[in-house]
């Protein structure tokens, strides 16, 4: 083991002692390979984001806290609009939507687009009051409920929602709690779940465990929008990532200059198997209805002519 790797391991073990955040502890405990991959991708994404002409101007938060109250890390306005675009594009304006935690103010954006049935759960009363003020003139009233998901989802919310969206703390323990509540609240038939998660931060073992868990309940991962969500960091969080960059980027890369001002997560879409099967059945039915009439004749070709595409292209996805 190289001296640099040994020092990195000692540093992470030492830092882990001083953090109460389960998310920071989780990331620091990743194995060396996973941690390096996570840090390099986050830092590289920061570099790309700074070069983008469309990124919004963010005033760096003065706080030195590594975790804000209630594990809140609000996303950018651009990200909020992207989430609303995704829900609107999928035709969810008339669906029952549950937002489990909304420090990102997504409900404000959805209300402005006249989404009809929105319910917001949060344990932060001050945030709920803020959201009520921001959406008081919405055409369709929003339901706000003060609920702590760590105490479990109330039974009266069971199987009521067609779409569930949540942005949980980035560690397996907390994410699993949110996931259990989502699976209890969702209707299951013809329903969708949108989960914001950085797969690299979660680690391969825990990511597979989460996907398998959802699979047991009949939900398949149908889309992954990589680095879909962007979150401005405060000074303490930014300082920690900048410190870690010394172990992931060489001197010449750092000499060019970059600062880790943002965190990123993917948007994972899960659909119920009943919804997927219904679409497959409709497609097969449509194809069968479009079969050529029997009175038409087509030239016959040797079977060898129809060689499957993947016989020549063995590229793995």
In the sheet that holds 96-100, the strands lie side by side as: 143-146, 117-122, 96-100, 163-166, 192-197, 262-272, 219-232
Q: Give the distance from CA 271 to its chain's centroid.
A: 14
Task: Please report, for the chain, the start and end positions of each structural domain, with discontinuous segments joined by +.
Answer: 72-277
For residues 100 and 178, the answer to whether their CB atoms sit within 8 Å is yes
Q: Which residues of the chain have pLDDT under 50?
A: 53, 57-68, 292-317
* pLDDT for the residue 293: 45
* pLDDT for the residue 1: 55
* pLDDT for the residue 245: 75
Backbone angles phi, psi at 223, to 5 degrees: -145, 145
* Residues comprising the chain, all counted: 317
* pLDDT for the residue 55: 53
* pLDDT for the residue 100: 98
**Superfamily the domain 72-277 falls into:** Vaccinia Virus protein VP39 (3.40.50.150)
What the block records as the tokens of 89 is 């594009």
* pLDDT for the residue 242: 78
- Between the two ends of the chain, the Cα-to-Cα distance in Å is 32
Please state the pTM of the whole predicted model: 0.78
Separation CA 23–CA 273 (nearest Å): 31
Q: Which of 167, 160, 159, 155 is nearest to 143 (CA)?
A: 160
């Amino acid at each position: 083991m190289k001296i640099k790797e040994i020092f990195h391991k000692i540093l992470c073990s030492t830092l882990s002692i001083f953090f109460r955040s389960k998310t920071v502890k989780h990331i620091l405990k990743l194995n060396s390979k996973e941690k390096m991959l996570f840090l390099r991708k986050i830092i590289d994404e920061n570099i790309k984001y700074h070069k983008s002409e469309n990124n919004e101007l963010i005033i760096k938060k003065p706080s030195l806290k590594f975790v804000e109250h209630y594990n809140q890390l609000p996303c950018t306005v651009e990200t909020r609009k992207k989430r609303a675009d995704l829900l609107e594009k999928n035709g969810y304006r008339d669906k029952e939507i549950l937002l489990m935690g909304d420090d990102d103010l997504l409900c404000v954006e959805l209300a402005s687009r006249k989404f009809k049935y929105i319910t917001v759960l949060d344990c932060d009363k001050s945030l709920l009051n803020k959201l009520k003020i921001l959406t008081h003139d919405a055409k369709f009233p929003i339901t706000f409920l003060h609920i702590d998901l760590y105490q479990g989802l109330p039974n009266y919310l069971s199987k009521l929602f067609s779409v569930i969206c949540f942005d949980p703390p980035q560690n397996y323990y907390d994410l699993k709690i949110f996931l259990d509540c989502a699976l209890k609240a969702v209707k299951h038939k013809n329903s969708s779940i949108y989960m914001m998660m950085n797969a690299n931060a979660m680690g391969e073992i825990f990511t597979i465990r989460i996907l398998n868990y959802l699979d047991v309940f009949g939900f398949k991962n149908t889309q992954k929008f990589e680095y879909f969500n962007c979150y401005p960091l405060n000074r303490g969080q930014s300082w920690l990532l900048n410190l870690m960059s010394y172990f992931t980027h060489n001197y010449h890369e750092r000499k060019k200059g970059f600062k880790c001002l943002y965190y990123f997560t993917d948007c994972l879409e899960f659909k119920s198997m009943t919804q997927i099967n219904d679409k497959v059945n409709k497609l097969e039915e449509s194809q069968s209805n479009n079969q050529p009439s029997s009175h038409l004749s087509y030239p016959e070709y040797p079977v060898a002519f129809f060689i499957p595409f993947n016989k020549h292209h063995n590229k793995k996805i």
